Amino acid sequence: MTGERVLYGVAGSPGIGIGHSLVYKEKPMGSLDREIADPKMELERYHNAVDTFCRITQVKADRVAEMVGKEQGDIIRCQTDMIRDPYMNGQVEGRIALGQSAEAALSASCDLFIDLFTASEDEITRQRAADIRDMRGGMLRLLLGLPEMDFSALQPGTVLMAEELSPSAVSVLNSANVAGIVLGKGGPTSHSAILARALEIPAVLGVEGRVLDTAPGEPVIVDGNRGCVVFSPSPEMRSVYESRQNDFLQLRASLRVFVGRETRTADGERIQLAANAGSVGDATRAAGYGCDGIGLLRTEFLYLDRTSQPGEEEQFHAYRQILSAMRGKRVIIRTLDVGGDKNLPYLGQIKEENPFLGCRGLRFSLREEDMFRAHLRAVLRASAFGQAQLLLPMVTGVEEIHRAREILEEEKEVLRHRGVAFDEHLPMGVMVETVAACLMADVFSKEADFFSLGTNDLTQYVLGVDRGNARVAHLYSYFHPGVLRLIRQVLETAQSTGTKVSMCGEAAAETALTPVLLAFGLKEFSVAPVSLLPVRKTISLWSQKEAKEVTEEAMSLETEEEVRTFLKAHEK
Ligand code: PEP
Ligand code: MG
């Protein structure tokens, strides 16, 4: 095939890679079934291979940990745990005892785990099947005496194309030589994607169409920002991408210095910068950039893409995992915020005429009390494993907060009776995302331990603009003076009552608004992991004095367009 063409996939690792394709096809291993002379000797052969595999893998893991980071090293090291897993061992040994070859026994036992993981409704668990396949490949090569492809010595400008690439193959890639990765399988939560991001190699995964049909040496552009691959680009396309690549590299270099740094204004004031997370993967990514905990955990992630609700146990494990990943830093767990645009038929939600004005957030939880109680117990139990805080969404009346607190106290009593550990002082905050909550902030502050400004919803309620309706999208804006006045009012009220306020809506990540939020007195921002570094950098460029000057002028303007144009012109 010749001529420019574009294939689409998912963005697995950001950046733009320009180079030539190298198509990697896994060689078939041939038949693994073979007569064995003596099961005892076969078992010994298997255990020797396991020892060698663990030694080699440990060396690889140490190298990755040294070059990229401990967490990335652990991704490789986990394969030694898999092969030594007692259940896995029992399966393999049982099969060898029945006369199977070590290769066939191992392969069949791995299939059991692969099928189990692949059937999971959880995306992260599904991706773990790739780790098992990687481990099996390494073990089989050892047992069969086959050489391993040397991925560490590729030509500069290589775009590696494959159906699937194992984490251990990605871990040895040299980012100086590999311009990009294009895979037919995999998603952003796969370990190969995590490693590609850590190595800063642009990657597009889950590409539709036949990646392996690419001609070797064909010019390719990998757009890991948009999730597309351009084959045989025209000179014009190539020059557009060269300039995008340049911009991206410059931006990345300017942000890199902010990884792991404290967030401070230009005049040295410490600002809290936390991350919004909708999965365990988000929390891990955020921890990689360095952040002051999770400012918003959207618990809906546990409820989506399934046919029945998660039980208390499953929720408890997920929250505990995130609390552990944050190593003692605060994790604000928001109770289920369904309704609005998130409709889960298995929860018995009824189709509503105006779902954003309907039974959503806390309203739904108070109606489905049993479910809410299990949800709260899961959070309470997880609170024994880190610094958890509870957050209530979509609140309009103080009586709702009272009722939620009553239920929380009753569930604490249940756990006390059961002798289960939890944080007795688990703080309970309120999302300020309705106009009523803004206007009642003084009253709410008597009941809530903290506020979290949800500007995504607040903007739609203040302006009467559905946040998901493309026809009115041009009217939806945080730069509207009405929205900004209300945010200022909440921050002033909270200051007078001594209530902590964080902002977790997308406005916190809008860097043109940063001086305004600082001048209003916002001390805690919570943004998507990808926005952590840009926001940290922007905060570092503003002093309170400068921010106040710009804000004073911005707030004297009368229209959304005037405010937006003015603030964009002053953006640093
Ligand atoms: C918000 O409304 O600003 C918010 C953070 O919550 P969500 O986007 O999940 O509704
Ligand atoms: Mg909201």
Decide whether any atom of ligand 1 lies within 6 Å of the 298 Cβ: yes
State the pLDDT at residue 278.
Answer: 84
- Which of 297, 336, 362, 456 has most ligand 1 atoms within 8 Å of its beta carbon, as the pocket-test mutant? 456
Decide whether any atom of ligand 1 lies within 6 Å of the 337 Cβ: yes
Q: Is 504 a catalytic residue?
A: yes
**Ligand 1: distance of its center to the CA of 337 in Å?**
9
State the pLDDT at residue 464.
Answer: 96
Q: Is 425 a catalytic residue?
A: no
Catalytic residue among 110, 228, 438, 504: 504
Angle (CA) 148-152-155 rounded to 5° is 115
- Which of 294, 301, 303, 337 has most ligand 1 atoms within 8 Å of its beta carbon, as the pocket-test mutant? 337
Q: Cβ(22)–Cβ(199) under 8 Å?
A: no
Label the pairing between strands 330-334 and 294-298.
parallel
Rounded to whole angstroms, how far apart are CA atoms 174 and 477? 43
CA 204 to chain centre: 17
State the pLDDT at residue 222.
Answer: 97
Residue with tokens 């957050």: 391
Decide whether any atom of ligand 1 lies within 6 Å of the 524 Cβ: no
Sheet holding 16-24, edge to edge: 5-8, 228-231, 219-223, 16-24, 158-162, 178-183, 203-205, 10-13
Decide whether any atom of ligand 1 lies within 6 Å of the 433 Cβ: yes
**10 Å Cβ neighbour count for 517?**
28
What percentage of the chain's residues is helix, strand, coil (to nearest 5)? 55, 15, 35
State the pLDDT at residue 2.
Answer: 60
Q: Which ligand number lies closest to the CA of residue 455?
A: 1
Q: Which atom of ligand 1 is nearest to the CA of 300?
A: 9
For atom 8 of ligand 1, the residue with the nearest CA is 456
Q: Which atom of ligand 1 is nearest to the CA of 452?
A: 5
Q: Which atom of ligand 1 is nearest to the CA of 507?
A: 3
CA 368 to chain centre: 29
**10 Å Cβ neighbour count for 10?**
17
Angle (CA) 195-201-204 rounded to 5° is 90
Residue at 195: amino acid letter: L
Q: Which ligand number lies closest to the CA of residue 459?
A: 1
> Per this entry, what is the length of the chain?
572
**Ligand 1: distance of its center to the CA of 455 in Å?**
7
Q: Which ligand number lies closest to the CA of residue 395?
A: 2
Rounded to whole angstroms, how far apart are CA atoms 485 and 504? 18
pLDDT tens, the chain, 572 aa long: 568 999 999 888 989 999 999 999 887 777 888 888 899 999 999 999 999 999 999 988 888 877 777 777 888 889 999 999 999 999 999 999 999 999 999 999 999 989 988 887 666 777 788 889 889 999 999 999 888 788 888 999 999 999 888 888 888 888 899 999 999 988 776 778 888 888 889 999 989 777 878 888 999 999 999 999 999 999 999 999 999 999 999 998 999 999 999 999 999 999 999 999 987 777 887 888 999 999 999 998 888 767 789 999 999 999 998 998 888 999 999 999 998 877 777 888 888 889 899 999 999 999 999 999 999 999 999 999 999 999 999 999 999 999 999 999 999 999 999 999 999 999 999 999 999 999 999 999 999 999 999 999 999 999 999 987 778 888 999 999 999 999 999 999 999 999 999 999 999 999 999 999 999 999 999 998 889 999 999 999 999 999 999 999 999 999 999 999 999 999 99
Decide whether any atom of ligand 1 lies within 6 Å of the 505 Cβ: yes
Cα–Cα distances (Å) from 116 to 131, 316, 401, in that order, read 13, 22, 42
**Ligand 1: distance of its center to the CA of 505 in Å?**
5
pTM, two decimal places: 0.71
Q: Which two tokens stand for residue 184?
A: 């037919």
Q: Cβ(429)–Cβ(449) under 8 Å?
A: yes
Nearest by Cα to 179 from 155, 208, 209, 210: 155
State the pLDDT at residue 92.
Answer: 95
Q: Which two tokens stand for residue 222?
A: 């990998």
Q: Which two tokens stand for residue 500?
A: 């902590």
Q: Which two tokens stand for residue 418?
A: 């059961």
Burial class (CB in 10 A: 0-12, 13-18, 19+), 333: buried
Label the pairing between strands 5-8 and 228-231.
antiparallel
Q: Cβ(259)–Cβ(289) under 8 Å?
A: yes
Q: Which atom of ligand 1 is nearest to the CA of 340?
A: 10
For atom 4 of ligand 1, the residue with the nearest CA is 454
Decide whether any atom of ligand 1 lies within 6 Å of the 437 Cβ: no
**10 Å Cβ neighbour count for 66?**
10
Q: Which atom of ligand 1 is nearest to the CA of 457?
A: 2
State the pLDDT at residue 102.
Answer: 95
Catalytic residue among 191, 228, 291, 480: 191
CA 538, 540, 545, 551: dihedral to nearest 10 degrees? 10
Decide whether any atom of ligand 1 lies within 6 Å of the 457 Cβ: yes
